[in-house]
């Protein structure tokens, strides 16, 4: 029995892995194992022989089982130690710099403009980009034969052949947002409506989608004088100037009466535009007193209420403030343009990214 014991305990001590251990377990204490077979022979022994062999076999079986369990644990420990050696991570290693996006100049300018008008008491109104004929044109006193309504200038949505309701349009200005606002919330009101607008145009200074911001102030006694003050406050804040002169030129829009185009003071020095100085003028927006027909369309009584409205291009404002000459730079997928004008974009690590590569 000592030989059996030595054979198995020695084998267990030398076993290299789980399967070797399992083989030894079956050979020793498995159903047909050597120790198990010896135990089965106990029945054939005399009581005296059994009294000696029984406890000895039991002790051997226990010893082998303990050795198996201990070796199994030792093998698991060794495997874990090996993984800990090979799978460690150096958490002190610096991260790789990642490409970061930054805000688009149009979004940035929208936020700047919104913040300035918020200080002047205007809140933001929003509405759908796909509009009905009524909100985009009729409610704004734009006659059925007005050129803006032509297929050539406006994107019309498709209607079924059999459907003769007027088609929806991609809004050509954010004025419909203001009509909807007056209808829903009534007057007095002071709102701005920034957002995307669409016109069938594409050249150096026009893209089919661009961004507009319109403003509307309605109360009992709002005048053009209030408009002039609000715009001058706005331009001084936007271009970071102490003051700026504006020039109002008589104009015509179907939705305002009287109407004025507004220029801001500027000069050209060595081919460079300087806003807020000199004796030159640059047109920046259209404006006027809201036409009585428009007020009535929005459910507002023009005998009781009046006010001003204005509209300007956000993209153009961004170009003026950040000196970007071609509108297409904003919407072109080639980001080198924006980078050229100082806007960090997708394929350039920003100053926040840490190590520059
Ligand atoms: C431009 C400048 C303008 C308005 C927009 C407006 C909005 C309502 C009522 C009356 Cl709800 N007017 N907006 C007014 C004047 C000019 O946009 O150059 N447009 C062609």
- Bridge partner list, 189: 218
287 CB near ligand 1 (under 6 Å):
yes
Query: How many A from CA of 257 to the centre of ligand 1?
Result: 11
Q: How confident is the model at residue 332 (pLDDT cuts 50, 70, 90)?
A: low
Q: Whose CA is nearest to atom 8 of ligand 1?
A: 175
Report d(CA 60, CA 29) in Å as an integer: 10
Query: How many A from CA of 144 to the centre of ligand 1?
Result: 18
Report d(CA 330, CA 333) in Å as an integer: 8
Query: How many A from CA of 188 to the centre of ligand 1?
Result: 18
**288 Rama sector, left if φ>0, alpha if ψ -120 to 50, beta otherwise:** left
Q: Can you point out the beta strands (E) in the chain?
A: 123-124, 130-131, 169-170, 189-198, 209-219, 246-253, 256-269, 272-275, 280-290, 306-313
Mean pLDDT of 214-228: 98
Summarised one tens digit per residue, pLDDT across range 17-63 is: 888 889 988 888 888 988 888 888 888 888 888 888 888 888 888 98
Query: How many A from CA of 215 to the centre of ligand 1?
Result: 8
Q: Is the pLDDT of residue 350 over 50?
A: no
Q: How confident is the model at residue 337 (pLDDT cuts 50, 70, 90)?
A: low
Mean pLDDT of 328-352: 58
Contact 231, 128 (CB under 8 A): no
Query: How many A from CA of 330 to the centre of ligand 1?
Result: 24
Q: Which atom of ligand 1 is nearest to the CA of 294?
A: 9
Q: How confident is the model at residue 354 (pLDDT cuts 50, 70, 90)?
A: very low
Model pLDDT, residue 8: 85
Summarised one tens digit per residue, pLDDT across range 263-288 is: 999 998 887 888 999 999 999 999 99
253 CB near ligand 1 (under 6 Å):
yes
Summarised one tens digit per residue, pLDDT across range 159-172 is: 999 998 889 999 99
Q: Whose CA is nearest to atom 7 of ligand 1?
A: 175
Contact 21, 9 (CB under 8 A): no
**Of the residues 184, 191, 286, which should be mutated to test ligand 1's pocket, given the most ligand atoms within 8 Å of the CB?**
286
Q: Enumerate long-range contacts of 344-352, CB under 8 Å, 24 or more apart.
A: 344/100, 344/102, 345/101, 345/102, 346/99, 346/101, 347/99, 348/99, 349/97, 349/98, 349/99, 349/100, 350/100, 350/102, 352/100
- Could you tell me which residues come within 8 angstroms of residue 237 by beta carbon, excluding any fewer than 6 positions away? 116, 119
Query: How many A from CA of 259 to the centre of ligand 1?
Result: 9
Burial 210-231 (b: 16+ CB within 10 A, else e): bbbbbbbbbeeebeeeebbebb
Model pLDDT, residue 352: 41
Exposed/middle/buried for residue 63 (C-beta within 10 Å: 0-12, 13-18, 19+): middle
Summarised one tens digit per residue, pLDDT across range 117-157 is: 999 999 999 999 999 999 999 999 999 998 888 877 899 99
When mean pLDDT is compared over 45-49, 86-90, 241-245, 326-330, the highest value belongs to 241-245
Query: How many A from CA of 285 to the centre of ligand 1?
Result: 9
Q: Is the pLDDT of residue 355 over 60?
A: no
The DSSP call for residue 41 is: G
Query: How many A from CA of 213 to the centre of ligand 1?
Result: 10
Q: How far apart are the first and last CA of the chain?
A: 73
214 CB near ligand 1 (under 6 Å):
yes
What Cα–Cα distance (Å) separates residue 305 from each residue in 3, 87, 331?
A: 114, 76, 40
288 CB near ligand 1 (under 6 Å):
yes
What Cα–Cα distance (Å) separates residue 48 from each residue in 36, 43, 53, 123?
A: 20, 12, 9, 106
Contact 229, 208 (CB under 8 A): no
Task: Identify the CA nearest to 24 among candidates 79, 77, 69, 80.
Answer: 69
Q: How confident is the model at residue 297 (pLDDT cuts 50, 70, 90)?
A: very high
Report d(CA 54, CA 281) in Å as an integer: 116
Contact 195, 126 (CB under 8 A): yes
Other Cβ atoms less than 10 A from the Cβ of 178: the count is 29
Q: Which atom of ligand 1 is nearest to the CA of 182?
A: 11
175 CB near ligand 1 (under 6 Å):
yes
Q: Whose CA is nearest to atom 9 of ligand 1?
A: 290
């Amino acid at each position: 029995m000592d030989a059996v014991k030595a054979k198995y305990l020695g084998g267990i001590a030398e076993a290299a892995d789980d399967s070797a251990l399992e083989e030894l377990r079956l050979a020793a204490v498995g159903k047909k194992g050597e120790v198990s077979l010896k135990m089965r022979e106990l029945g054939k022994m005399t009581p005296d022989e059994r009294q000696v062999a029984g406890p000895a076999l039991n002790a051997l079986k226990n010893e082998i089982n303990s050795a198996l369990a201990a070796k199994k644990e030792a093998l698991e420990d060794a495997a874990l130690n090996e993984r800990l050696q090979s799978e460690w991570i150096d958490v002190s290693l610096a991260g790789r710099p990642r490409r970061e996006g930054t805000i688009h100049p149009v979004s940035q300018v929208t936020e700047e403009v919104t913040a300035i008008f918020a200080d002047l008491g205007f809140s933001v109104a929003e509405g759908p980009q796909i509009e009905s004929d009524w909100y985009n044109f009729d409610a704004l006193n734009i006659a059925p034969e007005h050129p803006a309504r032509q297929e050539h200038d406006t994107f019309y949505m498709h209607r079924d052949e059999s459907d003769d309701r007027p088609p929806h349009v991609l809004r050509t200005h954010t004025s419909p947002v203001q009509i909807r606002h007056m209808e829903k919330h009534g007057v007095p009101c002071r709102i701005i409506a920034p957002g995307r607008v669409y016109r069938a145009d594409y050249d150096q200074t026009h893209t089919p989608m661009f961004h507009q911001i319109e403003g509307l102030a309605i109360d009992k006694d709002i005048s053009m004088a209030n408009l002039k003050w609000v715009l001058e406050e706005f331009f001084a804040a936007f271009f970071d100037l102490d003051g700026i002169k504006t020039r109002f030129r008589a104009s015509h829009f179907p939705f305002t009466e009287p109407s004025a185009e507004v220029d801001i003071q500027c000069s050209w020095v060595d081919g460079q535009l300087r806003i807020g100085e000199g004796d030159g003028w640059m047109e920046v927006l259209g404006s006027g007193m809201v036409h009585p027909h428009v007020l009535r369309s929005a459910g507002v009584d023009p005998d009781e209420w009046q006010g001003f409205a204005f509209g300007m291009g956000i993209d153009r404002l961004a170009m003026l403030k950040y000196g970007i000459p071609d509108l297409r730079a904003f919407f072109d997928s080639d980001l080198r343009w924006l980078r050229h004008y100082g806007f960090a974009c997708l394929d350039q690590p920003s100053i926040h990214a840490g190590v520059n590569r």
